[in-house]
Amino acid sequence: MSSVASFSADPVLSAALDRNLALDVARVTEAAAIAAARYMGRGDERAADLAATAAMREALTTVPMAGTITLGALADPDDGLFRLGEGVGNGTGLLIDVGVTPLEGATICAMGAPNATACMALARKGELLAVPPVYMEKIAVGPGVPEGCLSLDADPAENIRALAKVRGVPAEALLICVLDRPRNEALVDRVRSTGARITLISDGDVSGAVAVGLPETGVDMYMGSGGAAEGVLAAAGLRCLGGVLQGRLMVRGDSEKAAVRAAGITDPDRILTMADMVPGETMFAATGVTDGALLRGVRLHAGSARSSTLVMRSRTGTLRFIDTRHDLSKLSADR
């Protein structure tokens, strides 16, 4: 089990995320994706998740930052998984909050199905909302939607009609992404009542939400409930893309209420905006494990692998699509 560590760093250096971190972050998600891809279709999601976590942890040791895992981990995880408060990076440079999903879609990776990714987000210390492991209701759209146009308090059909008006198209032209879960069935019915099209995904709601910010995916809106940590990670990605995500925690029972209060969220029923979840500069990276709407999956060959990675920075709005061929005989943490 990994120990929990904390780092200190020069606060002047912590004022902005260094652009040179972009390639370091890409190497981290690439390592996790390649490790997970070795287990694609083998039916063992835990083995895939543990392999991705181990590879991500090792790759993080070389990143020049004083990072702390604040999102996407548990306070008391099983052996091998990331722990909340775990120190990552080489302990120098920037003070960073780190959100991780070494393998988003462990089940679909184990099945060999589409849309599994390895992803992570970085933000300055204190600027990545730490949410407990609860569900979150979400709505996300890409750039160009005026503030106040959409709301989680509105009926889903109203939100679709409002987006159609902004885009200047009929509702039937919109494509809405929804996580395929029984809890989202009523939402699916409301979406279909407008005539809008739906793409149902079996897992991977980080990439599903981030897809609304990339016109080439064809996805106009993400709606429905999924993991709260995944909601914040998606908000980090959409901040880089100029998109918008609203979230509201879905708290069930006293233990979840206590966890939300412990995280410093005094009103779990209020709508969380981008300013709540990622108020400052952020960096986001994702590498495909299996083929999806955003990225191609890892291709494994004899002695080599090929990966597809997206790295984004909110400060500049830069998107880097990185196609990398890896020599597996030389693959190590310094990559």
Domain that holds residue 82: 12-128+283-332
Give the C-alpha separation, 29 to 131, whole Å.
22
Helical packing angle, 156-167 and 185-193, nearest 10°: 40
Number of domains the chain is built from? 2
What's the pLDDT at 331? 65
CA geometry: angle at 303 spanning 48 and 109, to 5°?
20
Domain shared by 180 and 252, yes or no: yes
Asked if residue 211 lies in contact with residue 201, where contact means CB atoms within 8 angstroms, the answer is: no
DSSP-based three-state secondary structure for 14 = helix
Determine how many CB atoms are found less than 10 A away from the CB of residue 34.
Answer: 24
What's the pLDDT at 21? 86
Q: Looking at the domain assignment, is residue 2 inside a domain?
A: no
Q: Looking at the domain assignment, is residue 215 inside a domain?
A: yes
Per-state percent for the chain, helix, strand, coil, to nearest 5:
35, 25, 40
Tokens linked to 71: 């999102």
Parallel, antiparallel or unpaired: strands 175-179 and 221-227: parallel
What's the pLDDT at 11? 43
Q: Looking at the domain assignment, is residue 194 inside a domain?
A: yes
Structure letter (DSSP) for residue 133: S
Domain shared by 118 and 207, yes or no: no
pTM for the predicted model, two decimal places: 0.91
Helical packing angle, 45-60 and 21-37, nearest 10°: 150
Asked if residue 30 lies in contact with residue 326, where contact means CB atoms within 8 angstroms, the answer is: yes
Structure letter (DSSP) for residue 144: T
Domain shared by 86 and 141, yes or no: no
Domain shared by 85 and 174, yes or no: no
Domain shared by 64 and 156, yes or no: no
Parallel, antiparallel or unpaired: strands 117-124 and 135-141: unpaired
Residues in the chain: 335
Domain shared by 21 and 113, yes or no: yes
Write the CATH number for 182: 3.40.190.90
Q: Looking at the domain assignment, is residue 323 inside a domain?
A: yes
Q: Looking at the domain assignment, is residue 5 inside a domain?
A: no
Q: How far is CA 67 from CA 7, 57, 121, 163, 284, in A?
A: 7, 12, 11, 38, 15
What's the pLDDT at 67? 96
CA geometry: angle at 330 spanning 326 and 333, to 5°?
90
Q: Looking at the domain assignment, is residue 225 inside a domain?
A: yes
What's the pLDDT at 332? 54
User: What are the per-10-residue average pLDDT scores of the chain (335 residues)?
Assistant: 45 57 93 98 96 97 95 87 95 93 95 95 95 95 93 96 97 96 95 97 91 94 95 97 96 89 88 95 96 91 95 93 92 51
What's the pLDDT at 16? 62
Domain shared by 122 and 63, yes or no: yes
Q: Looking at the domain assignment, is residue 4 inside a domain?
A: no
Asked if residue 177 lies in contact with residue 154, where contact means CB atoms within 8 angstroms, the answer is: no
Given 231, 257, 277, the domain boundary residue is 277
Parallel, antiparallel or unpaired: strands 197-201 and 244-250: unpaired
Tokens linked to 144: 């160009």
What's the pLDDT at 274? 95
Q: How far is CA 149 from CA 141, 145, 166, 185, in A?
A: 11, 7, 9, 24
- 10 Å CB burial of residue 91 (0-12, 13-18, 19+) is middle
